[in-house]
Amino acid sequence: MAQRPTTTGPARWLGVIPVGKGEALVLTGDDTAAAYYRTRQGQHFLLRWLCAPSETELLDHFHDVWKELPIEEETVFRHPGGKVLLMDSVDVGSDAPGRWLVQPSEFVLPRGRYRVLTSHTESEEIDLIVHQLRAMRGEPDTAADRPHD
């Protein structure tokens, strides 16, 4: 079976790998802090920052620029619905299954296919990678987008 490409353009900040009968979204690249952010309109974002003077300044910058950011990378991710763990692979305790060195963040996404649109923005004080998880409602489900067997 042919592998589907995981991203458009060179993979710089994300990819998709098969896990069981589903998929996992892998955030790659720079070692960043990361957080889930949901707007009042229900839009889903993963925000990853290299530097920011404060959470308030980071969010102010994000709100000022996110609608105008060019898409630098894109992939499709299928989620079965329910909890999503936002974790760093180096935080997993290797000798004790299910134990974490640092507790992962959790958030909930509805079941479906998501287009993950990635952008990067910098200012004098803020360096931010933005992943928007956009539900793909009404778009055809193609064989290339189905989980790997």
Q: What is the pLDDT of residues 99-110, one digit of tens each?
A: 555 566 788 888
- Residue owning tokens 């992939």: 75
* Average pLDDT of every residue of the chain: 76
CA distance linking residue 6 with residue 39, whole number of Å = 26
Q: Residue 96 pLDDT > 60, yes or no?
A: no
Amino acid 11: pLDDT: 54
Q: What is the pTM of this model?
A: 0.76
> In whole angstroms, what is the distance from residue 28 CA to residue 30 CA?
7
Measured at the CA of 113, the angle between CA 2 and CA 107, to 5 degrees, comes to 125
- pLDDT exceeds 80 at position 53: yes
Phi, then psi, of 102 in degrees rounded to 5: -125, 125
- Please report the pLDDT score of residue 135 as a whole number: 92
Per-residue model confidence (pLDDT) at position 125? 93
